[in-house]
Chains A and B, each alone.
Chain A
């Protein structure tokens, strides 16, 4: 959806079309499954709130911040552009991260362990899937405050890496390609697991969509 206002404003101000910019807003994706489909590992109540409220708010706030940035650009209000950057980072990161997250999960009845190239790389690095999950869970449980644990692909080395990040910082800031993200903001687990983040981290492995993770790896290697 192009913001027609931006184009109209540009025409009115007499700016050449090449100097205008339109912003295509982001959209809340649909969940690829029913909110209750990840039970008993992640409750339907959590999935509904997480997707319908939290992710939806990141989408709305990102679009709003980008719209405000566009207006500020037209007014040449540099101070305002700068002031908007943290909202763009927080909410844009929130959207990017959750967009990946929903696809990284799958109902347990459809669970399949890693295969092919992904399996090979995981075992080369961590000896076994179990060990990988232990190491990942331990590092991710240790995130202070809000953040994410990631399995990323390092294009330069051709290796997989585990990386944790704060708040909604996207994995892209590290140069790694995101393959699998686990949200450890308290909203991701609190209604069900309360303060016991390690229990959530143990449970979530039952609903990881390794096929999707493998597809992301394949795409990253192109």
Chain B
């Protein structure tokens, strides 16, 4: 079964004024769609991989589970498909955001000192990622929260990449220029600051809960094992 573009959980204009409707539209219907199309085209050559599932595909990046022929395409487009599917869900209409609560809040305070200190570290990782990439808040196998940034469409699921710390993603922010250029141009730090207005903390809490159980959510269900 081929991968497909998931629907957004909200209208293109729902994240205004923090992320503009035109960007959401192009980001979803053009950029994310292209990752899906490219991934499907690559897997047409190795159809047995189509049933692996996007999470396990990402986990298999840089292993011999992925044929050499398509390893770069899968890393870039399988990464892109997971990352953007994750990203749409981690954002929500600004009126719905309340800040972290419960277990996630406690963990943030334990591991960073405070929510503000976590945000400062996250913002630095996002602003400091040179070129294209993502910033992540994730939980490691031992249940501790970490912040890291990854280049291009890499993500913390790709545990076999030498420079990536493996994490179960809790929060992620796209800092490719296409994610913010129409509204913010070169002012990436402004976009990063605005992101906190649209974070879906309920989804983040669910991601954290699943991560502590060593599971990765997609479409609200734990990913099937490879």
Interface set of A (CB-CB < 8 Å, partner B): 49, 53-54, 57, 86, 90, 144-147, 166-168, 185-187, 190-191, 194-195
Contact = CB atoms under 8 A, between A and B. Distances in A.
A202 B178 CA distance: 20
Given A190-B182, A194-B26, A144 B76 contact: yes
Contacts of B131: 145-147, 166-168, 185
30 contacts: A49-B185, A49-B186, A53-B186, A54-B186, A57-B186, A86-B130, A90-B130, A144-B72, A144-B152, A145-B132, A145-B151, A145-B152, A146-B131, A146-B177, A167-B131, A168-B131, A185-B177, A186-B176, A186-B177, A187-B177, A187-B181, A187-B186, A190-B181, A191-B181, A191-B182, A194-B26, A194-B178, A195-B31, A195-B34, A195-B178
A145 B34 CA distance: 14
B65 interface: no
Contacts of B132: 145-146, 186
Contacts of A186: 132, 176-178, 181
Contacts of B144: none
Given A185-B177, A190-B177, A53 B185 contact: yes
B133 interface: yes
Interface string B77-119: 0000000000000000000000000000000000000000000
B30 A195 contact: yes
B185 A167 contact: no
Nearest to B30: A195
Contacts of B186: 49, 53-54, 57, 187
Nearest to B179: A186
Interface of B: 26, 30-31, 34, 72, 76, 130-133, 151-153, 176-178, 181-182, 185-186
A29 B171 CA distance: 40
B30 A194 contact: yes
B26 A195 contact: yes
Nearest to B133: A145
Contacts of B34: 195
B223 to A, nearest CB: 25
Contacts of B151: 145
Nearest to B154: A145
A167 B208 CA distance: 32
Contacts of A194: 26, 30, 178
A162 to B, nearest CB: 19
Q: Which of B26, B130, B176 lies at the interface centre, i.e. has the most chain A CB atoms within 10 A of its CB?
A: B130
A57 B26 CA distance: 27
B19 to A, nearest CB: 15
Contacts of B30: 194-195
Q: Which of B26, B177, B182 lies at the interface centre, i.e. has the most chain A CB atoms within 10 A of its CB?
A: B177
Nearest to B130: A90
Ordered nearest first, which 6 A-B pairs have the shortest CB separation? A145-B132, A186-B177, A146-B131, A145-B152, A167-B131, A53-B186
Nearest to A169: B131
Contacts of A167: 130-131
A164 to B, nearest CB: 13
A113 B31 CA distance: 34
A90 to B, nearest CB: 5
Given A53-B186, A168-B130, 10 more contacts: A49-B186, A144-B72, A144-B153, A145-B131, A145-B151, A146-B131, A146-B132, A147-B131, A168-B131, A185-B177
A195 B28 CA distance: 11
A191 to B, nearest CB: 7
Contacts of B177: 146, 185-187, 190
Contacts of B72: 144
Contacts of A146: 131-132, 177
Contacts of B31: 195
Nearest to A93: B130
B102 to A, nearest CB: 36
B13 to A, nearest CB: 18
B178 A190 contact: yes
A215 B26 CA distance: 40
